[in-house]
Amino acid sequence: MQPQLNLLILHTEGEQALSDWIHVKDRVDRKAPEIETRIIESSSADAVTRQWQRSRPSLVFSASGKGAYEPDGGTVVISSQIPEEHQYKRLAAAGVAAPKTIELMLGMVLKPDVWGEYVISKPIGDRDANDLRLVPTEDVAPRYAAITNTVSTRVLIKRYIHSVDKRGFPFEYRVLTMLGTILYAARIRGTERRPPLAEFAKDYRGIPSSDTVRVKRRRALTFDEDVLQMARSAAAVFPEAACLGIDILRDSTTGELFVIEVNSGGQIWNFSSQRSKVYDPAFRRSLYTQFNALDRAADLLIETTRASAL
């Protein structure tokens, strides 16, 4: 069969292994001979590739942003950054549980009966989440200077969700979705018990996030159906994103799940990202096999190219 459709996969060095996309391409080639697939570096501005792309209806896919490549028509499916300050409103409007979030303003007074006893402060744009702070809700207004004096940007305030296991170790979930479908789901547990919150908050101490590389954690696959369904619901709210790294917390008291962030724009393909080099090798291998991730990714690209290529 002669190719009738073009699929262009943009690879970003350091964020995904090229071998992942070669595996995907080989499966697409075997299962869908009507689709011609090429892989290029997202840093490329290759005019020859753009000419090939417009020679047939095409789909351009990237698990990160598009980089330097400028698609010449076609359907473009990439993972652009979704500002965190917009995520809460969209999740809440769709009925997906997420911790209440607002941008911090001078003189802002928050009520504990609305926000809970504690909140998290987070600089907007802190992609590595290195400056998360636990703050008593009633102290947000009087401690405005302390909250903002270490950063040169705007700050988000998020309701704190206390998520620790029975032994007091903090934990959360990370679920990677592609085109709304789950590729892996992991449970991430800290290796140090969380001290009493009053003690933790009095020194305005930082809270490590799942993306903070310097903190040790134990990671394992999870098949908890309520977590998987929460991730599917969150991904459906952001259909424009090719891939999402969805972070979920479980309230230790109620068991309720909350989506705390949907990460996009890259640095989330933790099968083979630079960030995941610190993971246990056996765990990294298990991410591929949990849901046959690369085969599933190839099948999703076949389905999407057939349905949406222009």
CATH (domain of 44): 3.40.50
Please indicate, yes or no, whether residues 187 and 241 belong to a single structural domain of this protein: yes
Asked if residue 235 belongs to a domain, the reply is: yes
pLDDT by residue (tens digit) across 61-95? 999 988 999 998 999 999 889 988 899 999 999 99
- Domain CATH for 110: 3.30.470.20
| pLDDT surpassing 60 at residue 128 | no
| pLDDT surpassing 70 at residue 59 | yes
Please indicate, yes or no, whether residues 51 and 125 belong to a single structural domain of this protein: no
Please indicate, yes or no, whether residues 149 and 195 belong to a single structural domain of this protein: yes
Q: Looking at the whole model, is its pTM more than 0.75? A: yes
Asked if residue 41 belongs to a domain, the reply is: yes
Nearest-CA neighbor of 202 among 135, 156, 146? 135
Please indicate, yes or no, whether residues 170 and 109 belong to a single structural domain of this protein: yes
163: Cα separation from own chain's centroid: 19
Asked if residue 270 belongs to a domain, the reply is: no
| pLDDT surpassing 70 at residue 211 | no
Please indicate, yes or no, whether residues 33 and 158 belong to a single structural domain of this protein: no
- Mean pLDDT across the stretch 146-175? 89
pLDDT by residue (tens digit) across 92-115? 999 999 999 999 999 899 999 999
Please indicate, yes or no, whether residues 105 and 53 belong to a single structural domain of this protein: no
Please indicate, yes or no, whether residues 139 and 228 belong to a single structural domain of this protein: yes
Q: How many CA atoms lie within 13 A of 216 on its CB side?
A: 4
Q: How many domains does the structure of the chain reveal?
A: 2
77 to each of 20, 66, 243, 305, how far by Cα in Å? Answer: 18, 9, 9, 10
Asked if residue 210 belongs to a domain, the reply is: yes
Please indicate, yes or no, whether residues 129 and 216 belong to a single structural domain of this protein: yes
Please indicate, yes or no, whether residues 51 and 175 belong to a single structural domain of this protein: no
Please indicate, yes or no, whether residues 172 and 207 belong to a single structural domain of this protein: yes
For residues 125 and 205, the model is more confident at 125
DSSP 203: T
- How many whole angstroms separate alpha carbon 182 and alpha carbon 93? 22
Which residue range(s) make up the domain with 296? Answer: 5-80+292-308
236 to each of 33, 91, 124, 130, 183, how far by Cα in Å? Answer: 30, 10, 24, 28, 15
Asked if residue 252 belongs to a domain, the reply is: yes
| pLDDT surpassing 60 at residue 210 | no
| pLDDT surpassing 80 at residue 203 | no
Please indicate, yes or no, whether residues 101 and 230 belong to a single structural domain of this protein: yes
Asked if residue 240 belongs to a domain, the reply is: yes
Please indicate, yes or no, whether residues 168 and 96 belong to a single structural domain of this protein: yes
Asked if residue 155 belongs to a domain, the reply is: yes
Residue whose pair of structure tokens reads 């792309």 in the numeric block:
53
